[in-house]
Structure 1
Amino acid sequence: MRVAIIENTRYSDPGQVGVALAEAGARIDTIRAYAGEPLPNSVEDYDALVVLGGEQNARDDEKHPYLPVLAERMRAFGEADKAVLGICLGSQMLARAFGGDNLIGAAPEFGWQAIRPTQAGRADPVLSAIADDSFLSFQWHDDTFTLPPEAVHLAANDAVHHQAFRVGRAAYGMQFHFEANRGVVEEWNRMFPELVERKHPGWLSRHPEYAASQGQKADAAGLAIARAWVSLI
C-alpha cells in the first residue's frame, strides 16, 4: 500500500492517520507542496491520497499557485475510486475539487468540540466507527464550504453545519482535526502560543484541564476514524 501525504504547511503532523497507516504497513511519501515539491503526476502512482491542513484558505491561488493543481489531483483520485482524505484545509480543497463553494472567514471554531454524525454518517463505513450519537474532535479553522453536488453529508455541529462529507466510495472531507491527538495539540500550543490565545483566551492555562476531560476521548474517536478510512484503501 503506497500513500501520498500532502503537506500545506511546514507545521504538519499526520497524527492518528499516521498511526493507522503504520499499523497497516503503508509506504508513505510525504510531499511538501507548500515548498514547491511536485504533486503526484498520475493516480497510478499511489493507492491513496491524504491532504492535511494549513494556514492558507482554499482559494489562495495567488500566494499558493499549486492549489488549483491539488484540487484537480484530488478529484482525479476520487474519480479513479482511490481513497482520498482531506482534513481541515484538505476538506475545503476536496469541496472545491468537486464543485463546492469555499466560504472564507465564515466559520471560526477552535478547541475540542462535539460533532454529530448525520443519519447518512451513522451508516457510513468510516463515521460508523463512532458508535455514539456524538464525538469530540479538535477544531482550528475559520473557513467552511458548501457541499459539492455529488457529496453525502456525514457530520455537523452547532457551529459548522458541514463537518464531514463523502464523494463516491472513499473520498472524504473532514473539517475537524481528528488526526490531532493530544501530542499534536500540545505541539501546536508550543509553536503558536500567541495565535492560540487569540483564538481562545486562556486556552494555554486551561489546556491541561481540557486535555484531561476532552482530549483522551477525542484521541480514541480520531484513531477509530483513521483506522476505518485506512481500511478502504
Structure 2
Amino acid sequence: MTLRIHALFHTNYADLSYIRQWADRHHHQMTISRSYNNDKVPTPDSFDWLIVMGGPMSVHDENKHPWLIAEKQLIKQAIDAGKTVIGMCLGAQLIAHCLGAKIKPTGIKEIGWFELELTSDGKPHPLLQDLPKSPFNVFHFHGDGFDCPEGAQIIAQTKAWANQGFIYQTSLHKSLNTWVIGWQCHFEVTKESLPKMLSNGSKTLQSGLQHHPKTVQTADEILVLGEQYIEQNNQRLEAMLNRLASSQS
C-alpha cells in the first residue's frame, strides 16, 4: 500500500531525517508544509498519515506564532478523521494539547542521549514489539512535557520525566487499524541531521549545560554518542513505522 504522508515543519533546519529515508525506500508519497513561511496546511482528505515534527517554540505561543492555530485545527481534524498521526517532540506536545492534555515546562532540560524505558503499557503494545524491554538510549532535546491525554496510554518514561510517549486510538481509529502516537524523543535523527539540530539549538544547549548539567550533554559528547546509538534507533523507528503501515494494508 502506497501511503500519502504529510509532514508539518516548524523550523528552517527541520529535517525528516530517517523518516524520509524510510518513506523513499517504501515508495510512499511525501509532502511537507511550513506554516511559519505562510504555507497553507492541507485538508485531511489529502493524506493518509500526518507527521508533526519538532521545533523550539511552545504549543502556547500562538500570539508569537499565529500559524500554530491552523496547525492545531488540522491535527484535531486529522485525529477526528481517524488518520494515523505521529508526533516528534514539539509534535507530540501539539498532539497531546489537541487531545486536551496540559503542556508545561518540566522544570528541567533533557538534551542528549539518555535512557528511555517502556512502561507496563508500552512493553506489550503491538506497535512496540521491536523495542527493547530494558532501558535503551535515545536522543532528547526538550524542556516542555505533556500530561497523559484522556484515553491515551503512556508508553515510555525517563528518570527525569515520566511522560515520554503516548499512544491513542478513537473507536474510528480502531476500526481503521490506525493510531495516534507521540514521542518526546527523536528516533529520527541521523548522522547528517544531528549536527544541524545541535548547531541551531546551540543557545538552548549552552543554557541547559549551565542550569541542568545532570540532564544536558555537550555537543561533542552528543555527537560521539550518536555514532554509537543512531543506527539502532533508526532501526527501531523503521520497525515502528513498518508496523503502523502494515496495520493499514
TM-score by length of 1: 0.89
Question: Which residue in the other structure is 1:33 paired with?
Answer: 35
User: Which amino acid in 2 is paired with 1:186?
Assistant: P
- Unpaired runs of 5+ residues, structure 1, are none
Question: Which residue in the other structure is 2:47 paired with?
Answer: 46
Question: Which residue in the other structure is 2:180 paired with?
Answer: 171
Query: Per the alignment, in what secondary structure is the counterpart of residue 212 of structure 1?
Result: helix
Q: How does 1:176-215 map to 2 (within 5 A)?
A: 176-200=185-209, 203-215=218-230
Shift in Å at residue 208 of structure 1? Answer: 4.5
Deviations 1:104-140 (A, max 9, x none): 3534211011111112212223222214322221100
Query: Per the alignment, in what secondary structure is the counterpart of residue 166 of structure 2?
Result: strand
Question: Which residue in the other structure is 1:123 paired with?
Answer: 124
What is the rounded CA distance, in whole Å, between the counterparts of 2:4 and 2:197 in structure 1?
A: 28
TM-score by length of 2: 0.84
Question: Which residue in the other structure is 2:238 paired with?
Answer: 223
Structure number with the bigger relative contact order (C-alpha 8 A, sep ≥ 6) is 1
User: CA-atom RMSD, angstroms?
Assistant: 2.1
Question: Which residue in the other structure is 1:99 paired with?
Answer: 100
Deviations 1:114-169 (A, max 9, x none): 11111221222322221432222110011001111121111111111111111104
How many residues align? The count is 232
Shift in Å at residue 232 of structure 1? Answer: 4.4
Distance of aligned partners of 1:62 and 1:198 in 2 relative to their CA distance in 1, 3 Å threshold: same
- Unpaired runs of 5+ residues, structure 2, are 170-177, 211-216
Distance of aligned partners of 1:200 and 1:158 in 2 relative to their CA distance in 1, 3 Å threshold: same
Deviations 1:41-98 (A, max 9, x none): 3x21111100101110011110111223322221221222211001100000001101
What is the rounded CA distance, in whole Å, between the counterparts of 1:102 and 1:194 in structure 2?
A: 22
Most deviating of 193-202 and 148-157: 193-202
What is the rounded CA distance, in whole Å, between the counterparts of 2:245 and 2:206 in structure 1?
A: 34
Shift in Å at residue 230 of structure 1? Answer: 4.1
Query: Per the alignment, in what secondary structure is the counterpart of residue 172 of structure 1?
Result: strand
Distance of aligned partners of 1:229 and 1:19 in 2 relative to their CA distance in 1, 3 Å threshold: farther
Shift in Å at residue 192 of structure 1? Answer: 4.1
Deviations 1:144-197 (A, max 9, x none): 011111211111111111111111041111111111123211222344444433
Query: Per the alignment, in what secondary structure is the counterpart of residue 21 of structure 1?
Result: helix
Question: Which residue in the other structure is 2:174 paired with?
Answer: none
Question: Which residue in the other structure is 2:6 paired with?
Answer: 4
User: Which amino acid in 2 is paired with 1:40?
Assistant: P
Query: Per the alignment, in what secondary structure is the counterpart of residue 57 of structure 1?
Result: coil
What is the rounded CA distance, in whole Å, between the counterparts of 2:244 and 2:107 in structure 1?
A: 28
What is the rounded CA distance, in whole Å, between the counterparts of 1:231 and 1:199 in structure 2?
A: 40
What is the rounded CA distance, in whole Å, between the counterparts of 2:223 and 2:101 in structure 1?
A: 38
